[in-house]
Structure formats: structure tokens, C-alpha cells
Structure 1
């Protein structure tokens, strides 16, 4: 696996790809490790997770630079990603015991009935490159602490991140093979899913990848959790704080180079404030510094790979050919590296790529609609259902509209984000299952009823 710095186009490292025989040996080790790990007292697992958080903080600059070098995230955002991973470790180190305590049920006199939560075994995680540490810790912090063992198949352009994450667990003092990173091609994933030693799987990625994992795992009756794509609406109503909506909305679209499933992608604005919002929105985006991701002043770095930038540009070109108007941006930047400028499209026709597809880059589609009812209709006019935002000064109105939007999470007067304290996941083509919070840690457990007479 070659690591190519997307900011320069230079190859910076090479990693040896593991083979089918390596996978078989790793599965044997994972099975053996699970037998011992599941018996560890919960408090010991929590202490180890707390140590993992400490390792992340102690080495955050080093890990952040690995992220930036491999996929181009601006360094300040990469440091923040590592800090967020440490926060997830802190959260489950503090709350795992209470989340997984036995639930007692009504029962006849003289009997005791309860539900206990037991781990399943080795869990395969197929993870993406866009948040190469956070996506993994969102899986590993709860599931491994619950007593499962982790097998990571990371994206092929971030092998250094995959090995660094394995290092975090090793440095924190985890038993060997409780967490393993496998540098394998995607064509070995199906074989792992079919193997009896793998008990469950989770994937964050594209719709086609999710369908493939779900289909193969389903043939073996293995549970999966899928977090797939999104085309999140950002609804701006007539009573919104337009400065806040424009500032936060612009960042929600462009952080991480726009390469986020939960980025605000479709801005649905009522006509009475449309012109004023658009002006402020474009001014905010125009202020962003696009450049070297290792520079602390950079807001937007390169797209993670050459092919990814080309795909974004093709979607923009096809949308413009269909009638969309480019307000700002719209062409690859004339410089080394995979740099695409923050772009705003208006007059976006129904059915064009910017309207109907997930655009995984810094491209915002802005719509003018008549009123609140039309805004909600447009917000729901998508195959996706990951997140959404609503901007209004009337919090009761915002909550009412949040209930009308088909999404796994809706934030009122705030950007969509994943937070260890609350469940995260989507509906429709954005996947199923939930990560984080209490419901997340219970996804890959046997909820066993124990009746004692």
C-alpha cells in the first residue's frame, strides 16, 4: 500500500499488504484473545480504555500529522479529531459499567429474572479514510470495552493511521490481539465475513460497500451496523439568526474539505431571507484559507485522493450542464495537489448530481423555497437520511420541524455531529443500527435473559 500525500502528490511511505494466510492467523489470534478478554472484569477494561485516552493525548501531534500526511485533513482539525477520540475513551471508561449493568424484570415470587449483556466475539470493522481515527474509536471504545475483540480493515490510503491505532491499544496495556489492524485488500472482506470466527461486522462507507457487507454477513446470520452516505439538509427559516446560520453552515459544509457523511450539503432557505443568507454564506466561504494542510492557518486542505477530486468536479460539471449556477468556486485549483475550492451552486435542478447524489467534497447546493412547508418537503426529498439541521429563533418551532424530517438526527441551531453521549446513525439509504451512547455499546452483545427459580 503506497501512501501518497494529497497535498503534494508525492509518495511518502509504503506498507506491505497482508495475505489470506495472515488473515487466517489473525482470526486465530483474535479467537484466542477473546476467550481471555471476555473474562476480564469490566472495571479493568474501563481502566485500560482510560489509558488509551491518555496515550492519544500524549501523542496527539504525531497521530494528527499522520492523518494530515495520508489524507490531507488540515492539522488543527486532525488534532481535534485525536482529542475527540480521547473523549470517547473517557466517556466509556466512565459509563460502560452503568450502561451494561443487568436489567431486572418483574417475576413470580421466589424467582429472579434479569437481562445480562455478554460479548459476541471478534467484530470486523470496515472503516473509511475521512475521519481515520474517530471512525475507528467510535467503534472500538464501546465494543471492545464491552468484551468483544476488534479486527480493523481500514481504507487503503491510511495504513499509517491503522497501524498507529493498533499502537494506541498496545501502549495502553491491552492484552495482545484484543485489537488488530489488518492491511488487506477489499476482496478479502467477504472471506472474513463468511468465516465463523467473525461474529459481527460494522461498516462506515458508501452505499454499495454497505450493501455488500450486509449481504455477505446476512448469509451467515451475522449482525451488522452500517453508517452510510448522507445528503444532509440545512433548513434556514424566516426567523433564523442569519449570521449564525451562515457561519456555522459554511463550516458544516467545508470542514475536512467537505468530506463528511454528516456535512450540510443541501441548504434549503425560505425566500424571504434567501438573498441575505446567500450573501452572508458566500462571504463566509470566501474567507476560508485553502492551502497546505500542515499550516495552522489553513481551513480547507486537499481532497484525499486524485480520483475523489475528479468525481466531485464531474458532479459539479454535470449539475451546471443541467442548469445550476456557480456562485463561487467550481474548478480545480491551479496548483500541485488535489485541491478543490469551496463551491456554492444555486438554481440547482431537480435530479442533477448536486441535488440527488452525495457530493463528497466542498460543494454546497443552495435552494430557495416558498415557506416552511416547502422547506420540509425539500429536506425530505432525498434517498438519504443521516442528519439535518434547522435554523430558527423559535426553539419550539425548531423541535416541531425536527420531528418532521426523516433523519437519524436533527440539530436545531447547531451543526450535525457525532457525540459519545448520544446515539448516532441513519435511516433510509444512510444505513441502520446506532453507534455511541448506551444503545451503541449494546449493538454487538447477546442480551441474555437469565431466569432463576
Structure 2
């Protein structure tokens, strides 16, 4: 089977790779399992240093990576790629590894010594998405390797070259080839590997349907599965918010990367006292965007990664407008009816519309007027998803109180669309289960092993 990356820039085949046969895929998993014990016996500091050398090697490739990403998934080159976040996340996980993986002492006296170790699962399978292909992959790859696991990485077809780049860099840095492998797999072979106990832990970032497929494949194997799936992240702008900061941050959070962000802002609730001003300022920002070829330095918003993604966003917008929504942005000249899509702001929307319920994952956001915290909380919770929520107020205690009532994985105050590696990246409801980064990320990539040692004193 041949995997093909169709570039959103011009619809050409940018890259293609042959998938592994079932036999070859199981052989790769077997090599990873065989290599894991020796890798885990290396000192933690050595594993961590090798991973960070691999990260540095990826950084050295950045001049090539940035245009490569534009060709693969459409992000404008003006934004410089992902190495800043890639390095930040790996560096943080390396810095906290010793404490996060330290033994938990339960007590020692003249009779007993008791403690709990964190030991690696074994072989970790990472299935990474295309929208932030380097940063999402490193969230698991770095801590999994540092903790003593071996890793097999499978990247999305839209970003075929990312896993190759990472493997090349990590191998050049000294990470053994069988310890970190990049593979190209069909869905059927992926299913067979998981169902066949080839892995000890699976981390998947992608669609709700993809997450369900992973869980079905793992059913009965007792293989742990961590998932980060869909989102419909809300923002609530309270009457005491810094209006300018709220508009700038939330519009960027909705439109950056053509709206293709896991924690992008997809719906905004604004207190009635600020609503009109908020909409006016937001529309002015979006009207100033430059849609175009992501290889052009002037382009501020590129094409969506695939025509079918743009088609879904267009459908949601059209349905909303037919039901009474107001579209504030006239079609851009560069909107070709395909991957190049006009960013859109909608008002007069409600939760009967798919654009306010279903994941859009594109450059569109609906804005609704609210009169109170209770109304905003009810609307924010009226979703099958729960990844992040963004609150805008000058009152910290109020934000904490509102945050306690929101069904979400992360609560932001006066910021949005950011992943802090010191915090657990997690979700609830149909956004999935598990948690990456932070100390909890290490706990999810290891298992506890208890020691109850009785001393012979006579």
C-alpha cells in the first residue's frame, strides 16, 4: 500500500511512502521489545542527554523543515515552524525527569524497607497527528524514551516526512535505531499490531473515530491507551475583561494555523456589555488577514491541510447562515472553493447549529452574547468535548470559581491556545482520557512497581 501526502498548496503529491507488510511491522515491534531492556538499564541522565541531543538535531534541520511543513499541511513559513515549542516541551520533561521518576519511599525501619518504583511500560506506540506534527509527537516521544521505553512512531499521512526527520535526528544523536523507530502502516496492520499485543502502551492524538478504533483494537489485550481526540473549546469574555487583549488573543486562537489547532477557540461567549465592541474589533482583525500560498512571506493564513477539511467547514458555515447566522467576512479573492478558505466570524448563532456543536477544526468561530456567568457556564458545558476553556476577567477568584464549574481539561485565564509543559495536558468527555507532559505524563508512561522487603535481623 502507498501512502500519499497531497499538498494543500497546489494539490500535487508532495511525498509518498510504502507501508510495511504485516510481517515486517511485527518484526519492527519485536526489535523494539528486544532493545528495550538494554535501553532501560542506561542511566536516566544518559537517556535524557541523548534525547536532548536528538531535539537539538531536529532544530538544526529547521530551515528545511519550515517549507516542508508548508508543503505538507499549509502553515505559512512566516511563523517559523514548531521548534520553539518542540524544544520547550522536551527540555521541561528532561528537567523534571529525575524527580518525576524518583522512587516513592513508604518507610524503612529495622524490619522493613518499602518503596514504589516507576518502571517503563516497555514498547510505546505513538500515533501522531498532522496539525502540529512535531510538537504533538514530542509530547510523548521525549518522556517515553527518557523513562526507559522504546518508541515506535506512526505519523499522519498528511505529514509523512515528520517521523523520518525525527528518527534521522535522534539516530544521529546516538539513540539506537531499534529504540526509536518511525514506521509507515496501513490501518489494518496498525489494528493487528495493537490487537496482537505488540505494544505495552498506545498514545493516540486524532479524531474521536480514530480513538474508538484504537480502543477497539486494544480490547481484551490490557494494553493501556491514552487519547486526545476532538475539541470545541470555548471562551468566555466577562464584563471586566481587558477587551483589546481578549479580542487579539481569541481571534488568533481561533484562526492561527487556519483554525487547525487541538485547543483552538471554536466558540466565544461575550458579556452583553462588551459584545458589540468585541465583534467589531474581531471582524476588523480577520478582514486584515492575507490568505495565500504559505511559501509567501506576506501570507498570514494558508490553505487548510486538505480539501475535505475545508469542505466540512464550508458546510458548517453554509448550514448556519441558512438557519439565520450572520457571516461578517466577505469571501476573499484567494478563496478557491478548495483548500484555500476565507476565515469567517459568525454571529446570531445558537447551539442548534453544527458550527456551535461539532468540531470545525478550521478558520471559523461563532460569537454569542451572554448575560451572566451561569448562562456562559451552561453554554460552555453544552458540548460533547472538553479540552480547554478560556476565561477573560481581572478577578482571579471569579475565574477559579467559574473554572471549577466547567467540564474541561484545562482552564485558562486571560490566555488561550497554549500548552504549558508543566501542566498535565488532558481532556474529558469525548476529548478522551489520559494525560501528557508534566509529572503526570511520566506516570502515564510508566507503571508502579512496589517493593516490600523484610530484613533478616537475627
Same fold (TM over 0.5): yes
In structure 2, C-alpha distance between the alignment counterparts of 1:362 and 1:214, rounded to whole Å: 30
CA contact (8 A) 1:207 1:429 kept: yes
Determine the structure 2 residue equivalent to 1:301: 302
In 2: Cα distance, 1:132 partner to 1:78 partner:
14
Per-residue deviation, residues 296-323 of structure 1 (Å, max 9, x unmatched): 3322111001111111111111222222
Please name the residue that 1:379 is paired with.
380
Query: What is the alpha-carbon distance in structure 2 between the residues aligned to residue 334 and residue 269 of structure 1?
Result: 29
* Deviation (angstroms), 1:107: 5.5
Other-structure match for 2:8: 6
Partner of 2:317 in structure 1?
316
Deviations 1:35-89 (A, max 9, x none): 211111111101101212211221112122222111111224352x122112222
Residues 205 and 165 from structure 1, CA distance in 2 versus in 1: closer, same or farther, beyond 3 angstroms? same
Name structure 2 gaps, 5 residues minimum: none
Question: Which structure 2 residues correspond to residues 31-42 of structure 1 after superposition, within 5 A?
Answer: 31-42=33-44
Q: Supply the distance in 1 between the matched residues of 2:333 and 2:107 (Cα, whole angstroms).
A: 64
Report the equivalent of 2:397: 396
The 8 Å contact of residues 207 and 430 in structure 1, kept in 2 or not, is answered as yes
How far residue 145 of structure 1 moved from its aligned partner, in angstroms, is: 0.9
1:206 match:
207
Is 2:273 aligned against 1:257? no
CA distance in 2, matches of 1:38, 1:107: 26
Alignment partner, residue 98 of structure 1? 99
Superposed counterparts of 1:427-446, under 5 Å: 427-446=428-447
Say how many residue pairs are matched: 452
CA distance in 2 between counterparts of 1:253 and 1:301 reads 14
- Name whichever of 104-113 and 143-152 sits farther off: 104-113
Query: Aligned residue for 1:135?
Result: 136
Shift of 1:196: 2.4
Q: 3-state DSSP class of the match of 2:298? A: coil
TM-score by length of 1: 0.96
Taking only aligned residues, the RMSD between alpha carbons, in angstroms, comes to: 1.7
Distance 1:362 1:235, change over 3 A: same
Compare 159-168 and 230-239 and name the one that shifted more.
Answer: 159-168
- Residues 58/88 of structure 1: CA separation in 2 closer, same or farther (3 Å cut): same
Q: Aligned partners of 1:221, 1:433: CA distance in 2, in Å? A: 15
Aligned to 2:17: 15
> How far apart, in 2, do the equivalents of 1:430 and 1:345 lie?
24
Q: Distance in 2 between matches of 1:377 and 1:106?
A: 47
Contact 1:425 1:432 (8 Å CA) reproduced: yes
CA contact (8 A) 2:195 2:219 kept: no
Which 10-residue stretch deviates more, 289-298 or 228-237? Answer: 289-298
Deviation string 1:69-118 (CA, Å, 9 cap, x unpaired) is 11111224352x12211222222222211210101014565311111011
- The 5 A counterparts of 1:50-69 are 50-69=52-71
Does 2:290 correspond to 1:292? no
Stretches of structure 1 lacking an aligned partner (at least 5 in a row): none
Q: Name the structure 2 match of 1:125.
A: 126
What is the TM-score normalised by the length of structure 2? 0.95
State the distance in 2 between where 1:78 and 1:441 align. Answer: 29
Return 257-266 or 319-328, whichever deviates more: 319-328
Cα distance between partner residues in 1 of 2:353 and 2:406: 22
Q: Distance in 2 between matches of 1:369 and 1:110?
A: 64
